A = this chain, B = another copy of it.
Amino acid sequence: MTVIAEHTRAAARDLEHVVQYFQTYRAGVPDNEVVADLTFGNPHEQPLPELVATLHKHTDPQATDWFAYKLSEAHAREAVAKGLSDELGLAFAPEDIAMTRGAFGAIALAFSLLLEPGDECVFSVPGWFLYETVLTDRNAVTVKVPLKPDTHDLDVDAIEAALTPRTRIVIVNSPHNPTGVVYSQERLEELAQMLRRKSEEFGRPIFILSDEPYRRIRFDGTPFTSPANVYPWTLIDYSYGKVLLAPGLRLGYLAFCPDMPDDTRAELAAAAMRSQLATGHAFPDAVLQYAAEDLESISIDIAAYERKRDRMYNALTQWGYEMTAPAGTFYLWGKAPDGDATAFTAALAEKGVFIAPGTLFECPGDFRISLTASEDMIEASLPAFQAISPSATKA
């Protein structure tokens, strides 16, 4: 007889395919036989020296309460509100910012704030493989809507068809994991118009949770529009873990769009602090909150990521792979030869190259490459891709 609560077992079931892959994909492979690990958005080079220096700086206590209990600290909220206001052209107040343990913590907080058991949350697939497990853990209902084939754009009509009076949240993730698509202002305005209409029809607001951890990782000068720019009922989640390539340091935020009615903003801010307490003191650690202002201006070298993207994208398309050219994120999304991502992943693994199969994203015919590997690793991985490429197989 199990002793584990049903909601936790249900959440674990949703997660199991991810855990299984994560725990087994390199099992039994000696480190010296790993040519390139292109699976997850993890660092494969030394951390940014500026990041390390900033952590040291804020580890040195400057007051007796340096390591006292922290909530969402004023200096961190001010730094975020200023940075985000400049970036999006919206006037965020410090009170609109809840400091969280990365975007993951912010997503969990948004769900706590808005979702009762049985409430519905809509997101697009392919999409991040952990939304559903967080929803299931709260006995909320996951509703998945496919992105448009080929363009991977938001399908606003399909989202509309999925809405019900129980829909509380539509998640928009731009730049998009795993496809790298950045949604246009036009498409987001179309979505906003539809959500305004449906919110009126249902008699209460449908919120957008704008999942923006890759917001600052864009290529080719691609502009960025946040849903918050076009739809007031928007909560933004963000993580510093992507742009610092340091996901083991948990710092992020949930921001409430300043275009919401003032009483709703105030209600969300008050409830956020209380919910973060009630869910186990879900605030970032002291050192990271002190560092927030400095961290606003530290980043991986985006130009280097653009070069890695170009090298990989050009090589793979040249060898006959059908790839999506990402405008942002550090991922590349493509179609597996013969539409079988599991076989393709296994064939690459035999050559010491590890990728994320589309099965993790409910797209068993596709695959994802993470460009967080070093340039050397990416270069070293190319022969494996070439050897089993569509061109090679045809030849």
Q: A61 touches which one: B2, B9, B52, B133 (CB < 8 A)?
A: B52
Which residues from B are CB-within-8-Å of A246?
Answer: 67, 286
Q: Which A residues fall within an 8 A CB radius of B?
A: 1-9, 11-12, 15, 19, 40, 42-47, 51-52, 55-56, 59-61, 64-70, 100-102, 104-105, 107-109, 112-117, 119, 130, 133-134, 136-137, 139, 204-205, 207, 244-250, 264, 267-268, 270-271, 273-275, 277-282, 285-288
A105 to B277, CA, bound (A): 10
> Do A114 and B4 form a contact, CB below 8 Å, given A247-B69, A249-B67, A287-B55?
yes
Question: Judging by beta carbons under 8 Å apart, are A4 and B113 in contact?
Answer: yes
Which residues from B are CB-within-8-Å of A43?
Answer: 64-68
Question: Judging by beta carbons under 8 Å apart, are B42 and A68 in contact?
Answer: yes
CB-nearest residue of chain B to A244: B67
Least Cβ distance of A114 to chain B in Å?
6
Can you sample 18 A-B contacts with CB below 8 Å?
Answer: A3-B205, A4-B271, A5-B116, A8-B271, A12-B270, A12-B275, A43-B66, A43-B67, A52-B59, A52-B60, A52-B61, A59-B59, A66-B248, A67-B248, A70-B248, A104-B281, A105-B281, A134-B278
> Do A281 and B101 form a contact, CB below 8 Å, given A12-B271, A55-B287, A247-B67?
yes
Q: A279 touches which one: B250, B279, B286 (CB < 8 A)?
A: B279
Least Cβ distance of A330 to chain B in Å?
14
Question: Judging by beta carbons under 8 Å apart, are B56 and A130 in contact?
Answer: no
Question: Judging by beta carbons under 8 Å apart, are B101 and A275 in contact?
Answer: no
A139 to B7, CA, bound (A): 12
Question: Judging by beta carbons under 8 Å apart, are B3 and A264 in contact?
Answer: yes
Least Cβ distance of A205 to chain B in Å?
7
Which residues from B are CB-within-8-Å of A40?
Answer: 69
CB-nearest residue of chain B to A3: B264
Question: Judging by beta carbons under 8 Å apart, are B274 and A8 in contact?
Answer: yes
Question: Judging by beta carbons under 8 Å apart, are B274 and A12 in contact?
Answer: yes
Which residues from B are CB-within-8-Å of A55?
Answer: 59, 287
A377 to B116, CA, bound (A): 47
Which residues from B are CB-within-8-Å of A51?
Answer: 67
